[in-house]
């Protein structure tokens, strides 16, 4: 079978690999229909974090090809969304709604063979995979299902963690796919005013489509000043931090009003951020790795009903043969997010 093959910094090519096999009776084998490149895949691509050579990727949707003897809820032919981490559904963390912290779970990339390929093995298939009812879907719908594998759920986790309420004024720091999905999420939870921090005209357009009411294109202290001015010097009820850098976190805390919350889902790469800046403002910081499995059923319903369209974040579509370009386009910021068509539904 064909799959993305990570060969070190700046190099992801198409490779040949053995087909995955059922290893545990709770496994399923998925024929991948769509996969995509994650912002976090770029850390490996850019050499910021280490990744073993070989298969890579963790966001996918597909059709069940084969199931182990203990899989009860799913059968071959079922169309499913895979959250980016698999989970057993039975441990204390899963039962508490934090399947991303499952004590037996792991990322599809680290714990299996990697999601960007023709076939993928899912451990704990019943607990992990979410079945999509129906079979006749538009390209747009398939793109939105793929976004539920990670970015839409991660953006939603920022909004949930920040406890956004009806009528709130909020800001989103970061205009990548997660930041844009955080705008959808803030609107879903009833935020009245949504300030998107973005310098990129194409991303500003998507932000507005998703529900942003104001755009702040400044950065750093100038972005804080501009946002404070928009909020009569008070600041926002919640800031959704979707980057993970020192500057993004300092901006998020800087624009949040006293007593507000920063919903943080940008994977932390802080070196200098000081918690004191949040402490002295009574600003809470909450967030982490999104329990995508917890959110997919609700967000899937929103997609199926046409209430949200997170697939709009994909602005480059390619096939597995062009996996190198899918990475390069995101690395060079020519694309917000790359969708990879692997097979027909
Ligand atoms: Zn991801
Ligand atoms: Zn668990």
Ligand nearest to the CA of 128: 2
Query: Please, which residues have CB within 8 angstroms of residue 213's CB and are 6 or more apart in sequence?
Result: 192, 193, 194, 195
Q: Is the separation of the CB atoms in 119 and 23 below 8 Å?
A: no
Residues 106/85, Cβ–Cβ less than 8 Å:
yes
For 155-287, give the CATH class.
Answer: alpha beta
Looking at residue 188, its pLDDT comes to 98
Environment class of residue 284 by beta-carbon count within 10 Å: exposed (0-12), middle (13-18) or buried (19+)? middle
Burial of 288 (0-12, 13-18, 19+ CB in 10 A): middle
The ligand whose atoms approach the alpha carbon of 154 most closely is: 1
Q: Cα torsion at 37, 40, 43, 44 (round to 10°)? A: -60
Residue 110 confidence (pLDDT) above 80: no
Q: Which listed ligand is nearest to 150 at the C-alpha?
A: 1
Let me know if the fold of 2-150+291-341 is the same as that of 155-287: no
All residues with CB under 5 Å from ion ligand 1:
38, 84, 150
Domain boundaries of the chain, sorted by first residue: 2-150+291-341, 155-287
Residue 185 CA, ligand 1 centroid: distance in Å: 17
Question: Rounded to an integer, what distance in angstroms lies between the CA atom of residue 173 and that of residue 224?
Answer: 11
- Percent share of the chain, pLDDT over 90: 95
Q: How far apart are CA 26 and CA 30, in angstroms?
A: 13
Q: 338 has which bridge partners? A: 316
Q: How crowded is residue 139: how many other Cβ atoms within 10 Å of its Cβ?
A: 13
The whole-angstrom separation of Cα 189 and Cα 166 is: 6
| pLDDT, tens only, 79-102 | 999 999 999 999 999 999 999 999
pLDDT tens across 172-192, in order?
999 999 999 999 999 999 999
- How remote is the CA of residue 85 from the centroid of ligand 1, in Å? 9
Task: Give the pLDDT confidence score for residue 135 in this predicted structure.
Answer: 86
Tell me the ligand closest to 95's alpha carbon: 2
Residues 6+ apart with CB under 8 A from 256: 235, 236, 237, 238, 239, 262, 281, 283
**Is the Cβ–Cβ distance between 32 and 342 less than 8 Å?**
yes
Strands 193-197 and 214-216: parallel
d(CA 26, ligand 2 centre) in Å:
14
* Ligand lying nearest the CA atom of residue 151: 1
Closest ligand to residue 293's CA:
2
Q: How far is the CA of 68 from the centre of ligand 2 (A)?
A: 19
pLDDT at 66 over 90: yes
pTM higher than the cut 0.75: yes
pLDDT digits (tens, 9 = 90+) for 123-132: 999 999 999 9
Q: Which CATH number fits domain 2-150+291-341: 3.90.180.10, 3.10.129.10, 3.40.50.150, 3.40.190.80?
A: 3.90.180.10
Coil, strand or helix at 290 = coil
């Amino acid at each position: 079978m064909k799959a993305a093959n990570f060969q070190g910094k700046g190099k992801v090519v198409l490779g040949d690999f053995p087909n995955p096999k059922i290893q545990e009776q709770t496994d399923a084998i998925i024929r991948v229909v769509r996969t995509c490149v994650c912002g976090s895949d770029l850390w490996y691509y850019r050499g910021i974090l280490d990744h073993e050579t070989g298969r890579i990727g963790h966001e996918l949707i597909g059709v069940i090809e084969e199931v182990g003897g203990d899989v009860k809820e799913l059968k071959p032919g079922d169309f499913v969304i895979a959250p980016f981490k698999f989970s057993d559904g039975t441990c204390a963390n899963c039962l508490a709604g934090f399947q991303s912290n499952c004590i037996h779970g792991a990322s599809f990339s680290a714990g299996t063979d990697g999601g960007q390929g023709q076939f993928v093995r899912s451990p704990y298939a019943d607990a992990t995979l979410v079945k999509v009812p129906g079979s006749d879907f538009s390209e747009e719908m398939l793109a939105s299902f793929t976004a539920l594998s990670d970015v839409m759920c991660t953006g939603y986790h920022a909004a949930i963690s920040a406890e956004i309420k009806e009528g709130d004024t909020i800001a989103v720091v970061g205009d990548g796919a997660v930041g844009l999905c955080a705008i959808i999420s803030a609107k879903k939870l009833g935020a009245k005013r949504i300030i998107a921090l973005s310098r990129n005209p194409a991303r500003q357009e998507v932000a507005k489509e998703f529900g942003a009411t104001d755009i702040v294109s400044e950065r750093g202290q100038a972005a804080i000043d501009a946002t404070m001015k928009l909020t009569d010097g008070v600041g926002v009820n919640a800031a959704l931090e979707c980057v993970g850098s020192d500057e993004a976190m300092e901006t998020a805390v800087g624009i949040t009003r006293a007593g507000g919350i920063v919903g943080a889902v940008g994977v932390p790469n802080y070196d200098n951020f000081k918690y004191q800046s949040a402490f002295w403002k009574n600003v809470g910081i909450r967030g982490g790795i999104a329990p995508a499995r917890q959110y997919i059923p609700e967000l899937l319903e929103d997609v199926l009903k046409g209430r949200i369209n997170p697939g709009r974040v994909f602005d480059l579509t390619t096939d597995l043969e062009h996996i190198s370009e899918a990475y390069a386009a995101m690395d060079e910021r020519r694309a917000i997010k790359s969708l990879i068509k692997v097979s027909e539904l």
